[in-house]
Amino acid sequence: DARVTQTPRDKVTEMGQEVTMRCQPILGHNTVFWYRQTMMQGLELLAYFRNRAPLDDSGMPKDRFSAEMPDATLATLKIQPSEPRDSAVYFCASADASAGTGELFFGEGSRLTVL
Amino acid sequence: GQNIDQPTEMTATEGAIVQINCTYQTSGFNGLFWYQQHAGEAPTFLSYNVLDGLEEKGRFSSFLSRSKGYSYLLLKELQMKDSASYLCAVPSPGGYNKLIFGAGTRLAVHP
pLDDT in tens, chain A (115 residues): 689 999 999 999 999 999 999 999 999 999 999 999 998 888 999 999 999 999 888 889 889 999 999 999 999 999 999 999 999 999 999 998 887 677 899 999 999 999 9
Residue from A6, A32, A29, A28 nearest A19 by CA = A6
Q: Does B97 touch chain A (CB under 8 A)?
A: yes
Beta bridge partners of A76: A22, A68
Residue B91 contacts A where some CB pair is shorter than 8 Å = yes
Query: Which chain B residue has its CA at the smallest distance from A94's CA?
Result: B97
A98 close to B (CB below 8 A): no
Cα separation of A60 and B57, whole Å? 36
- pLDDT, residue B1, reads 66
A109 DSSP assignment: -
Q: CB distance from A2 to chain B under 8 Å?
A: no
Top residue of A31, A49, A55, A103 to mutate, by most chain B CBs within 10 Å, is A103
List b or e across B79-100, with b for residues whose CB sees 16 or more CB atoms inside 10 angstroms: eeebbbbbbbbbbbeebbbbbb
A49 at B interface, C-beta within 8 A: no
Question: Residue A46 and residue A81: Cα distance in Å, rounded?
Answer: 17
For B95, which of A56, A106, A107 is closest by C-beta distance? Answer: A56
Contact B20, B6 (CB under 8 A): yes
Tell me the count of A-B CB pairs closer than 8 A: 54
* B92: confidence class by pLDDT, cuts 50, 70, 90: confident
Residue pLDDT, tens place only, A44-71: 999 999 999 998 888 898 899 999 999 9
